[in-house]
Amino acid sequence: MTDRYAVFGNPIAHSKSPQIHARFAHQTAQDLSYSAERINEDAFEAAVEDFLQGNGKGLNITVPFKERAWALAQWRSERAELAGAVNTLYRLEDGRLAGDNTDGVGLVRDLADNNEVDLEGARVLILGAGGAVRGVLQPLLAAGARSILIANRTSARAETLAQLFDSAAGVMGCGFDAIPATAFDLIINGTSASLQGELPPVPEATVSAHTACYDMMYGAESTPFCRWAQAQGAGRVMDGLGMLVEQAAEAFLIWRGVRPDTAPVIQALRESLTAH
């Protein structure tokens, strides 16, 4: 019987995950199906249990259920524990429900492997303090980031996130108005401001010719943050399409024990995005 996988979310219609996992399965000759399922708010836990019976082998979880998936998991990876959110569910051999979070490692892989951004000793500015940012902090530190300044519209949320880490880890939180006017090695936009066509108020002096700028959002057109970074003369400007594919590849590895080649999948997705 074909192994079944799915992504649960609400809304879910525009999810690219089925397309990504179909490409991974084809490339690695794995017999599996992967669908996108819109789950009603009150039915999430029951839907997970239903799916992971029989030939339902694994789930990706997206907005708004990542925290509920974290609570539902009976075993969690260290990175999921720190993220406070789970985007990958599967069953352990003993039958327990396992939860992992592959978003952070997806970002790190896209930065370091696909775009050759040197994270060792990097001074990082992260804009935003929501779920996505929380998930990437520990993986960035593990990849060698020397310091991370989290700046958020609501400064208290940034400060609360920074407090999850030991003071020696070099993670600080502040409001946008307290961002120092000095150049960073890496600036990551983890706000959803681009969705509204907006740009967080970041001092221009944070960007120099050696600064790498990354927007977790992506789209057919360059995001407002990417356009701004380009205009400031940033050394490298990237959007979040690679992160999306890399987090999926890490989930695929957990489920299937084989790592797909992400480069052709990122390229195919980019082409299909710009064709529409």
Q: Which of 58, 173, 240, 260 binds ligand NDP (CB under 6 A)?
A: 240
Whether residue 64 has a cis bond before it, omega within 30° of 0: yes
Q: Collapsing DSSP states into helix, strand and coil, what is residue 226?
A: helix
Q: Which of 113, 120, 198, 204 binds ligand NDP (CB under 6 A)?
A: 198
**Which helix (H) or strand (E) segment is 247 a member of?**
helix 241-256
Instruction: Compute the CA torsion angle 259, 261, 262, 268 (nearest 10 deg).
Output: -140
Q: Which of 125, 216, 251, 265 binds ligand NDP (CB under 6 A)?
A: 216
Q: Is 78 annotated as a binding residue?
A: yes
Binding status of residue 23 toward ligand NDP by CB under 6 A: no
Give 94-161 as a DSSP string: TSPEEEE--HHHHHHHIIIIIS----TT-EEEEE--SHHHHHHHHHHHHTT-SEEEEEESSHHHHHHH
Instruction: Considering the candidates 21, 23, 66, 109, report the single residue annotated as catalytic.
Output: 66
Sketch the per residue contact string, 146 through 185, with ligand NDP: x for CB under 6 A, - otherwise: ------xxx--x----------------------------
Q: Which amino acid is at 215?
A: D
Binding status of residue 266 toward ligand NDP by CB under 6 A: no
Which chain residues interact with ligand NDP by CB under 6 A? 103, 128-133, 152-154, 157, 190-193, 195-196, 198, 200, 216-217, 240, 243-244, 247
Binding site, by residue number, is 15-17, 62, 78, 87, 103, 128-132, 152-157, 216, 218, 240, 247
